[in-house]
Chains A and B, each alone.
Chain A
Amino acid sequence: MKKKALKKLLSLVIVLTVAVALCACGGDKSTDEAAGAEGAEESAGEAGQADAADNNSSQAGEPTTGGSVTVGMTQDLVSLDPHVISDAGTRSVVFNLYEGLVKPTTDGELVPAVASDYEISSDAKVYTFTLRDGITFHDGSEVTVEDVKYSIERYAEIYGESSALSIILEEVVADSENNTVELHLTEGNSELLPELTLAIIPASNEDPAGNPIGTGPFQYVSYTPGQNLVISRYDGYWNAERKAYLDEVTFKFLADVETAYMELQAGTLDILDYLTTDQVATLADGYYVAEGSMNMVQALFLNSGSGPLADARVRQALNYAVDTQSINDFLFGGKSKKIGTHMLTSMAQYYNADTENVYSYDPQRAMELLADAGYADGFDLTITVPSSYSQHVSTAEIIVENLRAVNINAQIELVEWNTWLTEVYMGGEFESTVIAFDGTLAPSDWLERFCSDSAENFMHYSNEEFDALYEKAYSAVDQEEKSQYYKEAEMILAEDAANVYIQEPADFVGIRDELAGYSFYPAAAYDMSVIYYKSAE
C-alpha cells in the first residue's frame, strides 16, 4: 500500500521535474529568438516604416459608431482638475473631457468651442466672447456666462505668475442679457487666445478633480490611481456632427515602455504612442504605425552662466560639432523635423525657418572656433540626462562621440527624473543637458524662458538684444509686427547659440488595423472623438 503511494508520488515528481526543465529550456530558446529578432531589426526597419501610414489620412472603411478602445500611457495623470498645472500627457488626456472658449484644430488654428464667436478690440485690451446657445455640461446643466467667468478667474488664480492672462487680467464681465463674457485687460495683448483654451467648468462643482465635469465629447466614468481612466461618449455634445464615434475609451497607465509594448503586441492595448524605431520595425501583424510629431523641441541645453559655455564661440562650436542629422537618422529613422531654434515648426506664423541653416555639421569649423576661444585642447563637459527618457540618453551618447572628435571630453551623468527636475531645472546646477520642451500655441510660452530675468530661465541665458526684441514682440498688437519680432528673437537664439537645437522628435503611434482616424495636433491632445472602427468591407 505504502509502496504504491510512494510510486504515485514519484511519478508526479518526475512529471513536474520534466515540466520545470522544459520551462527552463523554453526560456533559453525564447531569449535566443528575441536576440535574433533584434539583429534583424535594422534591415526590417526600412520596410516597416515604408508601410507606415501617412499621418492624418485615415484608411478605407466607413466610420462606424460604437466600440471601445484602450490606449496605453507610460505615466499616470497629474490631476483631472483641468486648471491644475500639469504635464503634456495629462493635458492630452483631459483634452477629451474639457473645452475652452476656443479649441485647437489639427492645424493649430483656434476655433470657437464653448463660445460661438469672439471679437478682439483693436487695441487688444478687450476680448468679447459670445456663449454658444444651448451648450451643456456633462451633468446636463446648461453652461452660463457665470460658469465661464468662474472658470477664467479660477484658472488665473491658480496659474498666478506663470500665466500672461493672470498678470494682465483686470476683470471678467459676464453679461447674461447678451450672453457674452468680456475680458478687460490692463494692457493690450493679442496673444491671449491660446490661453483661452482653458477648460470651462461648472461653478457649482466643488470637486473638479474627483468629479470632473466639462463640455467635451467624452465624459468621465472612473479613475483608478496608478491604473486607468475610463471615459465614455457624451451624447449631449454641442456639435452634433462631431460627436465621438467610440462608446468608451480607457487610458491605461503602465510601468514602463517595454511592458507597454508587450501589451500592445499581446492585443491588450489598441493604441500606443512614442514607439521607438526598433518597436516600429517589430510591430506585430494587425497593427499599423501613424507618424507625427511629439510637438517638442529637443536640444542640448547649455548653462551659459559660467565656464567655457559662457563664451558664445564655444557654444557655436558645439553647434558645428554635433551631427543632428545622424541623431535623427539613428533614433527616429530620419522622420524627425530639423529645427534651428526654440519654436515648433508647425507654428508656421512664428517659426523662423532660416535658423535651420545657421549651422551645419562641420567639425573643422568647430575646432577653429574652440581655438579662437582658447580651448584648442578642449575641455571637460558633463551632460546631465534623465535616465527615464531613453531617446534623450541615446541622443547624449551620440553627442559624446561627436564632441570627442573636436577634443571636448563630454561625459554623461544619468539622473532620475525627479533629481533632474530639482537640480537641473529648478536649481540650474548643470553644465549641459539633453531634454525636450513642450509648450502652448502661444509663442511667448516658448520664448519667455530665454529672457534674462525669467524664472524659467534655468540656462542662465542672457542677451540684451533678445530681451529687447522679446519685449517688443510680446507687446506688439499687430500680428504682422509681432511675428516679425519673434522671428528676429529666434534668430538671435540661433546665432548666439543659446543651445544646440537638435530636432522636433517624430512620434510613432501603433494603432490596431481595425481603427482609423487618429489625428495629430500641434498641441497636447489625444483626440479620441475622431477615432472610429472601420466598417467591415
Chain B
Amino acid sequence: MKYVLKKVITLIITLLCISAITFGAFSVIPGDAAVSKLGVNASPQQVEELREEMGLNDPIPVRYLSWLSGAVRGDFGDSYQYDNTTVASLLADRLPVTALLAAMSFLMILALSLPLGILSARFSGKWPDIGINLATQVVMAIPSFFLGIILTYVFGLVLHWFQPGQFVQPWEDLGACLGYLAFPAAAVALPKIAMVVKFLRGSVLAEMQKDYVRTAYSRGNTKGMVLYRHVLRNAFIPVITFLALVIAEILAGSIIVEQVFSVPGVGRLLITAILNRDYPVVQAVVMYVTALVVVINFLVDLLYQAVDPRIKTSG
C-alpha cells in the first residue's frame, strides 16, 4: 500500500513538472496562436485584439496557473485553432484510434519478438540465429516513418492490399479499420521487434552463463529443459523493463507514422497543434502521453513482483 502511494505521488509530481516544462518551452519559442489563426490578411491591431481575447498577453505564470486550475478539474479548455471546440472533444475522437494502433503494434511485437528471440538464443551461432540476426540488423536500421513510406508504396501502390488514406473509423467498421491499421502498426512494430529480439537473445545468453544453469545441466537436464524451465523466467525480467520502454516509443513512433498513413490519431493532432501554436491542445496531448508512460512504468513495477518474488514491496 505504501509502495502504491509512493508511486502515485511520484506520478503527480512528474506530471506537474512536465506540464510546467512544456508550458515554459512554448512561451519561449517564437510565434503565437493569434498570428497563426489570422494569417497575412489581418492587421496588427486585430492580432493584438485576438491575443487579448485568448489571454496570451497575461504573464506566463498567470496563464500556467489558470490552465492548471482547469486541468485538475479535468477541463483542458477550448482549442485556439478551432472555434467553439473543446480540447476534450478533439481528443475523444482521436484517442481510441491511437490506442488501437499502439495496442496492435504491441501485440505484433509480443507475438513475433518473443519466439524469435528465444529461437535465436537457443540456436546461437547456428543458421536460424544468423538469419534472424541479419533480418533484425536490417530492420533496426530503418526508421519507422521511412518503413511507413516503404510499406505504403509496396502494399498500397504496387500490391493494392490497402488504399492509402482510406482510413475507416473503428466505430464505423472495426474490421476495415483493423485491416488498415495493420500496416501503420507494422511500420511502428518492426524496428521494435528487432530490438526486443536482440535484447532477449542477449539476456538469455547471459543467463546461460550463470552457475545455476551449470547445476541444472549437471542434474541431467537437456538444453531445452534448462532453457524453458529455468533460464527464461530470469531472462524475462530485464526484457519486461525493455518492453515498458518500448511502449513509450510506440507512442512516440505512432505520432510520426500516423502522418505517413494519414491516420487521424493523437499524433496528427499534436503536430498540427504545435504548428498552429494551439497551446491547450499541445498541453493536453503531452499530459496524456506523459501520464500513459508513467502509469505503464508503474504497472511494470507491479508486474516485476509477480515475475520475481525477490523484489519485495517493502524495498
Contact = CB atoms under 8 A, between A and B. Distances in A.
A536 interface: no
A401 interface: no
A243 to B, nearest CB: 29
A132 B20 CA distance: 57
Contacts of A118: none
Contacts of B43: 160-162, 455-456
B205 to A, nearest CB: 18
Contacts of A84: 83
Contact of B259 (A13, A78, A79, A255): A255
A225 B82 contact: yes
A79 to B, nearest CB: 5
Contacts of A224: 93, 264
A10 interface: yes
Nearest to B277: A418
B291 interface: no
Contact of B156 (A27, A210, A266): A266
Which of B29, B83, B85, B147 has its CB near the most chain A CB atoms (within 10 A)? Answer: B83
A13 B119 contact: yes
B259 A226 contact: no
Given A16-B112, A256-B259, A263-B262, A162 B46 contact: yes
A368 interface: no
Contact of B83 (A79, A265, A423): A79
Interface stretch (A18-26, A43-51, A105-113, A406-414): A18-26
Interface in B128-165: 128, 131-132, 134-135, 138-139, 142, 147, 150-154, 156-158, 163-165
B135 A24 contact: yes
B28 interface: no
Given A263-B262, A418-B35, A86 B41 contact: yes
B290 interface: no
B115 A263 contact: no
A12 interface: yes
A421 B39 contact: yes
B31 A421 contact: yes
A425 B47 CA distance: 12
Contacts of B276: 418
A423 B164 CA distance: 37
A423 B30 contact: yes
B157 A455 contact: no
Nearest to B123: A10
Main secondary structure of the interface of B (DSSP, over half): helix
A224 B90 CA distance: 9
A262 B38 contact: no
Interface stretch (B206-214, B246-254, B267-275): B267-275
A268 B260 contact: no
B309 interface: no
Contact of B150 (A30, A267, A421): A30
Interface string A259-287: 10011011111000000000000000000
Contact of A30 (B44, B79, B154, B269): B154
Interface in A440-460: 455-456
A17 B132 contact: yes
Contacts of B259: 255-256, 259
A179 B269 CA distance: 47
Interface string A1-36: 000001001101110110011011011001100100
A209 B83 contact: yes
A17 B153 contact: no
Given A418-B35, A421-B31, A160 B150 contact: no
A255 B271 contact: yes
B9 interface: no
B135 A268 contact: no
Contacts of B272: 76, 226, 255
A160 B46 contact: yes
A226 B269 contact: yes
A266 B224 contact: no
Interface in B53-97: 79, 81-85, 90, 93
Nearest to B193: A20
B301 interface: no
A85 B135 contact: no
A256 B40 CA distance: 21
B302 to A, nearest CB: 29
A267 B156 CA distance: 10
A379 interface: no
Given A27-B147, A254-B262, A419-B31, A162 B41 contact: yes
Contacts of B193: 20
A266 B157 contact: yes
B36 interface: yes
Contacts of A17: 116, 128, 131-132, 135
Contacts of A209: 83-84
Contacts of B44: 426, 455
B152 A262 contact: yes
B42 A162 contact: yes
Nearest to B41: A85
B163 A268 contact: yes
A227 interface: yes
B284 interface: no
A437 interface: yes
Contacts of B165: 252, 254, 259, 262-263, 266, 268-269
Contacts of B271: 255
B163 A266 contact: yes
A24 B139 contact: yes
B287 to A, nearest CB: 19
A417 interface: yes
A30 B153 contact: yes
A175 interface: no
B166 A268 contact: yes
Contacts of A162: 41-43, 46
Given A13-B116, A262-B152, A456-B43, A416 B275 contact: yes
Interface of A: 6, 9-10, 12-14, 16-17, 20-21, 23-24, 26-27, 30-31, 34, 76, 78-79, 81, 84-87, 160-162, 207, 209-210, 224-227, 252, 254-256, 259, 262-263, 265-269, 416-419, 421-423, 425-426, 437, 455-456
Given A76-B81, A255-B262, 16 more contacts: A9-B115, A10-B119, A12-B115, A20-B139, A160-B43, A162-B41, A225-B79, A259-B260, A262-B152, A262-B153, A262-B165, A263-B262, A266-B156, A266-B164, A416-B31, A425-B35
28 contacts: A9-B115, A10-B119, A12-B115, A16-B115, A17-B128, A17-B131, A17-B132, A20-B135, A20-B139, A21-B138, A24-B135, A24-B138, A78-B37, A84-B83, A87-B40, A160-B45, A161-B45, A162-B42, A255-B262, A255-B268, A259-B259, A265-B164, A266-B157, A418-B31, A418-B275, A419-B31, A423-B30, A426-B44
Closest 5 pairs between A and B when the two form their complex, measured CB to CB: A418-B31, A263-B165, A268-B165, A27-B150, A255-B259
